[in-house]
Amino acid sequence: MTTQKYKKTKFSFDETILNSKFNFAKNLKWFILPSIAIFLVGLILACTLGFNFGIDFSGGSIMTIYANDENLIADAKSFNLDDNADFNQMRDQIEKVFEEFDIKGASYQKTTIDIEDLGVYHGQAIVVKYQNNSSDIDSITSLNSEIQAQIIETFDYSTNTSAVLSGGVITPSASTEMVVNAFLAIFVTIILISIYIGLRFGLTSAFLTVLCLFHDILITSSLVAMLRFTVNFVFIASLVVVMIYSTCNLIIVLSRLKEYQRSGRFDGETNENIANATIKETLTTLVLSAVVGLICMLLIGIIGVSDIRAFAFPIVIGVLSSFYSTVFLAPGLWSIAFKHKNKKQPVESEKSQEKAS
């Protein structure tokens, strides 16, 4: 009864996919082209322009601008930074100065100086941290003093120029060792994930996982280099998110594949057919999982502040790349890798693969 009722349904996404003749496995050589193109452009850009490193990777400068000390800025307007309007007004004025010097993406922190050293006053201040435009220490120093002079003029602090303290250049807080360790951690994690997949789903799947995970991480890094997103320490966390997301998608497909092999439903079928049927039946799950990922990351990226964007947008790229690699690259790669074994041991190979795992 119910069956008949639903036959009237005009359009069903699931049904359309299941009935489509689209071959996911066969066209690997075409599907892989965009990935290679993106990777090459990213590689060239990374080698020539480099990544747009954040302040914790590349270092930068720090400047303290006092807001309301009586001894310091008696004649000028003082700001009460606890008041939002005052804080924003002061910050906007500082931002304007920094934009004149073509420095963007500076961070502004409200500070209350508690304990004073000789020559440092009590009171509130805004601490500005920003990236240097060049790597030459002399030009940085001269630029910093120019900015300092400009800010003194803006706020009319001329009676006491020490109201603007240039803290000078700060070193990257992330040392090379830390960065190397982080990437090592990612690498070891990929290996471990593949070993687990290998034990659960067989060697071919482990090989597939390594390729797909590296694909997604490389594509994400390439696009980040292309789109000039900031690369800071949080970017490494977003690469890890991409990796986990990608693993999740692969498991959805691989477990369905394993189930088919076990049920014997595709005995005697070609690898291509098996791979195609698997992708078609898991596609809705994959699409929904990608949509969930995109909702999460796009929204937090659009609503959040600029630093949050620096981690959310790479993940958005990663989610798309992971969807692409699972749906368009994995079936092709799988059927190639599996065909090789089929030649040696026709039909039986699937079952022996199963036992090996």
Partner 1 sequence: MSKKRSIWKFSILLILVALGLVLTFASFNVAGTVYHYNGFVNSIPLGLDLSGGTAVTYNASVSKSSVTEDLDSAILSTISGLNSMLYNYGINDSVIEQQGSDKIRIEISNQENDFTELFEIIGEPVSLFLSSNENFDILNPSGDYLSSKDISNVYVSTSSDGSSYGVAVEFKTAAKEKFSKLSNQASNSSTIYAFVGEESAISLTSENFIDDTTTAFISGGSITTSSSASEYFIKITSGSYSANLSLSEISVVSASLGKDALLLSSVALGVVAFLVMLLLLIRYRELGLLACFTLVIFTILFSFFLMAVPFIRMSLPGLAGVLIAFALATIGNIIIFERIRSEYASGRKIPLSTKNGFKKSLWPILDIHILTVIASILLYILGTVAIKDFAMVLLVGSIISAFCSLVVTRLLVKWYLPLNSTNARRMNLVRSKALNNETTNETLLEEGGEK
Within residues 188-247, the interface with partner 1 by CB under 8 A covers: 188-189, 192-193, 196-197, 200, 233-234, 236-238, 240-241, 243-245, 247
Smallest CA-to-CA distance from 148 within 213, 94, 92 is with 94
Give the footprint of partner 1 on residues 3-22 (CB under 8 A). 3, 5-7, 9, 12, 14-15, 18-19
- Count the alpha carbons within 13 Å of 268 in the hemisphere toward its beta carbon: 1
Among 248, 320, 336, 337, binds partner 1 (CB under 8 A): 248
Q: Which is nearer to partner 1, 7 or 355 (CB)?
A: 7
CB 74, min distance to partner 1, A: 22
Q: Which is nearer to partner 1, 39 or 110 (CB)?
A: 110
Our CB check for partner 1 shows the closer of 48 and 171 to be 171
**What residues numbered 137-196 form the site for partner 1, per CB under 8 A?**
167-175, 178, 181-182, 184-185, 188-189, 192-193, 196
Binding mask 49-88 for partner 1 (x = CB under 8 A): -------x--x--x---------------------x--x-
Least gap, CB of 101 to partner 1 (angstroms)? 20
Question: Using the rule CB under 8 A, which residue among 43, 46, 101, 129 binds partner 1?
Answer: 129
Angle between helices 233-263 and 176-201 (to 10 degrees): 10
Report the site for partner 1 in 91-120 (rule: CB under 8 A).
Answer: 107-117, 120
Smaller CB separation from partner 1, 41 or 169 = 169
Rg (CA), the chain: 28
Q: 111 or 133: whose CB is closer to partner 1?
A: 111
Closest residue by Cα to residue 129 from 56, 62, 75, 209:
62
Interface residues for partner 1 in 256-315 (CB under 8 A)?
256, 259, 265, 281-282, 284-285, 288-289, 291-293, 295-297, 299-300, 302-305, 307-308, 311, 315
Output b/e per residue, 320-343; b: 16+ Cβ within 10 A. bbbbbbbbbbbbbbbbebbeebee
Residue 335 CB, nearest distance to partner 1 (Å)? 20
Residue at token pair 């007004």 = 89
Instruction: Restricting to residues 19-48, name those near partner 1 by CB under 8 A.
Output: 19
| CB closer to partner 1, 102 vs 177 | 177
Supply the DSSP string of 199-251, one letter for each residue: HHH-HHHHHHHHHHHHHHHHHHHHHHHHTT-EE-HHHHHHHHHHHHHHHHHHH
Per-residue burial over 22-40, b if 16 or more Cβ lie within 10 Å, else e, is eebbeebeebbeebeebbe
3-class secondary structure, 164: strand
Closer to partner 1 at the Cβ: 45 or 279?
279
Nearest distance, CB of residue 97 and partner 1, angstroms? 18
Quote the least distance from Cβ 172 to partner 1, whole Å: 7
Distance CA 32, CA 212 (A): 12
SS3 assignment for 9-45? CCCCHHHHHHHCCCCCCCCHHHHHHHHHHHHHHHHHH
Q: How far is the CB of 117 from partner 1 (least distance, A)?
A: 5
Q: Which two tokens stand for residue 52?
A: 């747009």
Helix (H) or strand (E) holding 63: strand 60-66
In the complex with partner 1, which residue's Cβ is closer, 9 or 48? 9
Tokens of 257: 């594949």
